[in-house]
């Protein structure tokens, strides 16, 4: 266990020194396994992990969902989602910010990336909110917070990575993320209402639309809705696997892009960018799996479980401590690094706890909790990635301004996290219904 902890702190140091996480995890994992088992077994482990990952059928969902998200983003779906939400909510105080949250949730459902959602919605929603005099703090905070829904509402790249690392069903994770995602939208809308209640000038009322205009606006979102229903409906209905759903989603997004006038040169650029992103994710995942092999061989998960059970700490207190560690690390590490670093250590501990949840669902529930904590890390200082994405897209808005508007959203995020830890049934009702 001491060897594993030494390797863990060396890894943290390398990450803080800005070494790419894929190389840092791979190097520490390789050297640690070499120390424990010898050079030849370490080389064999790295080779096996590399080839098994690259040749994995399950991993084909990653490039397909990445391609699907990039195509949908380029096709302009976000504009139509925001326009539809604006017609229904824009006349309320803070309504444009609430419309932004709803549009972020809808776009997340066909994109799967928090950073892409935040960057896209910044260009879509910010001009309208500025037109009606919204404070930059509330406007940008609603975009940054709404963007976090991209890793919770399925399909989600982070959920795919978690499922592969813990050998948890991706279909079950997608089913478990649906209700928490919808509840997240409601909580964020409540955060907007809290913000405008405290400062009515932060979110003035916009124009009111007729029902005819609202119904007209809904016509623009039918393609995204059909794609979402086909992909997730097929998964939940057990019509096809998540791998097949990813292919169908990418194909459907390709058709949508063509129908919306995206030319072949742009599609070629999207394909290249998707391939580049997928390659980076593959390298990161290989490094994480090599590191996971090392800490398992060093006995860190078993040692932690023995320590927890030996001290008589209650299971819920263990979960609380794990979540506090995640939140603290989320303030200094970017979200993917945090998941790849901590999940291999903690998921065996959680799987061994008596939480009053059937054993087959424990890691599904824990996956949703991990994603929620990761959402919080995306908007908390000093390393809130969504905030820095917005700052790069909107260079005239300082990160201080954005972080100042985040307090209501971080508050409801913590309340939502407490709710789902205390009531696991909420996140498990759909996977139990479809796959029980």
Confirm whether 15 is domain-assigned: no
Spatial CB neighbours of 225, under 8 Å, sequence gap ≥ 6: none
Provide the pLDDT for residue 1. Answer: 65
Confirm whether 81 is domain-assigned: yes
Return the number of other C-beta atoms located less than 10 Å from residue 422's C-beta.
10
DSSP 142-153: HHHHHHGGGGTS
Total of domains in the chain: 1
Confirm whether 365 is domain-assigned: yes
Provide the pLDDT for residue 25. Answer: 84
Confirm whether 98 is domain-assigned: yes
Instruction: Decide: 163 and 170 in contact? Cβ < 8 Å.
Output: yes
Instruction: Decide: 278 and 62 in contact? Cβ < 8 Å.
Output: yes
Provide the pLDDT for residue 352. Answer: 84
Instruction: Decide: 153 and 105 in contact? Cβ < 8 Å.
Output: yes
C-alpha dihedral sign at 113, 116, 118, 121: negative
Confirm whether 48 is domain-assigned: no
Distance CA 246, CA 240 (A): 10
Provide the pLDDT for residue 309. Answer: 67
Q: Spell 334-371 as b/e; 16+ CB within 10 A means b.
A: bbbbbbbbbbbbbbbbbbbbebebeeebbbbbbbbbbb
Does the structure show a pLDDT above 70 at 80?
yes
Whose CA is closest to 44, among 293, 274, 278?
293
What is the 8-class DSSP label of residue 200? G
DSSP 367-393: HHHHHHHHHHHTTSSS--HHHHHHHHH
Distance CA 190, CA 409 (A): 9
Whole-Å CA distances, 205 to 85, 107, 193, 201, 209: 14, 24, 12, 9, 12
- Mean of the pLDDT values across residues 13-34? 85
Please give the residue that has the higher pLDDT: either 288 or 162: 162
From 107-111, 341-345, 402-406, the region with the lowest mean pLDDT:
107-111
First to last CA, the chain: 37
Q: Using alpha carbons only, what angle is made at residue 111 by residues 333 and 232, rounded to the nearest 5 degrees?
A: 115
Distance CA 254, CA 318 (A): 45
pTM: 0.86
What is the 8-class DSSP label of residue 253? H
Q: What is the pLDDT of residues 25-55, one digit of tens each?
A: 889 889 988 988 888 888 888 888 888 777 7
Instruction: Decide: 164 and 367 in contact? Cβ < 8 Å.
Output: no
Q: Using alpha carbons only, what angle is made at residue 175 by residues 169 and 180, rounded to the nearest 5 degrees?
A: 125
Confirm whether 8 is domain-assigned: no
Percent of the chain with pLDDT over 70: 97
Does the structure show a pLDDT above 90 at 118?
no
What is the 8-class DSSP label of residue 239? S
H helices of 237-299, in order, are 242-259, 264-297
Domain of 330 in residue numbering reads as 56-262+299-435
Instruction: Decide: 97 and 192 in contact? Cβ < 8 Å.
Output: yes
Average pLDDT, the chain: 85
Distance CA 365, CA 436 (A): 14
Confirm whether 28 is domain-assigned: no
Q: What is the dihedral of CA 268, 152, 120, 145, to 10 degrees?
A: -160
Residue 261 in tokens? 């006038």
Q: What is the pLDDT of residues 173-226, one digit of tens each?
A: 999 999 999 999 999 999 999 999 999 889 898 788 888 888 888 887 888 788
Distance CA 414, CA 434 (A): 28
Spatial CB neighbours of 108, under 8 Å, sequence gap ≥ 6: 114, 117, 147, 149, 150, 152, 153, 181
Residue 218 in tokens? 């809904």
Distance CA 397, CA 172 (A): 40
3-state secondary structure of 435: helix
What is the 8-class DSSP label of residue 220? G
Provide the pLDDT for residue 109. Answer: 75
Residue 172 in tokens? 């079950």
pLDDT band, very low/low/confident/very high, at 95 (cuts 50, 70, 90): very high
Confirm whether 294 is domain-assigned: no
């Amino acid at each position: 266990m001491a060897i594993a902890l030494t390797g863990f702190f060396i890894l943290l140091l390398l990450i803080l020194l800005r070494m790419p996480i894929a190389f840092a995890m791979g190097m520490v994992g390789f050297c640690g396994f070499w120390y424990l088992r010898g050079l030849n077994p370490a080389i064999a482990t790295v080779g096996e992990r590399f080839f098994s990952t690259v040749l994995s059928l399950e991993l084909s969902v990653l490039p397909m969902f990445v391609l699907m998200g990039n195509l949908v983003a380029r096709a302009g779906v976000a504009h139509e989602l925001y326009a539809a939400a604006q017609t229904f909510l824009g006349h309320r105080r803070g309504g444009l910010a609430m419309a932004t949250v709803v549009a972020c949730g809808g776009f997340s459902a066909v994109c799967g990336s928090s950073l892409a959602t935040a960057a896209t919605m910044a260009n879509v929603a910010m001009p309208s909110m500025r037109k009606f005099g919204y404070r930059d703090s509330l406007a940008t905070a609603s975009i940054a917070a709404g963007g976090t829904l991209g890793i919770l509402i399925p399909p989600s790249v982070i959920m795919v990575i978690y499922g592969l690392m813990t050998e948890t069903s991706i279909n079950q994770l997608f089913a478990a993320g649906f209700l928490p995602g919808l509840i997240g939208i409601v909580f964020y809308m409540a955060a907007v209402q809290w913000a405008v209640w405290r400062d009515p000038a932060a979110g003035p009322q916009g124009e009111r639309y007729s029902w005819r205009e609202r119904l007209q606006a809904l016509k623009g979102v039918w393609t995204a809705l059909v794609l979402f229903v086909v992909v997730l409906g097929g998964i939940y209905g057990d019509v096809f696997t998540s791998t097949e759903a990813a292919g169908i989603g990418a194909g459907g997004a390709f058709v949508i892009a063509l129908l919306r006038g995206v030319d072949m040169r742009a599609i070629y650029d999207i394909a290249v960018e998707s391939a580049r992103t997928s390659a980076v994710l593959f390298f990161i995942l290989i490094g994480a799996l090599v590191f996971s092999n090392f800490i398992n061989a060093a006995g860190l998960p078993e040692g932690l479980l023995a320590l927890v059970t030996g001290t008589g700490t209650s299971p819920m207190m263990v979960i609380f401590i794990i979540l506090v560690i995640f939140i603290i690390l989320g303030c200094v590490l970017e979200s993917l690094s945090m998941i790849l670093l901590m999940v291999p250590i903690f998921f065996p501990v959680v799987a061994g706890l008596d939480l009053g949840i059937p054993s087959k669902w424990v890691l599904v529930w824990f996956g949703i909790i991990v994603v929620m904590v990761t959402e919080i890390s995306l908007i908390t200082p000093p390393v809130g990635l969504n905030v820095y994405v917005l700052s790069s897209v909107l260079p005239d808005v300082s990160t201080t301004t954005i972080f100042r508007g985040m307090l209501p959203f971080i508050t409801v995020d913590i309340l939502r996290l407490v709710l789902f830890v205390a009531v696991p049934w909420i996140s498990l009702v759909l996977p139990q219904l479809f796959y029980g």
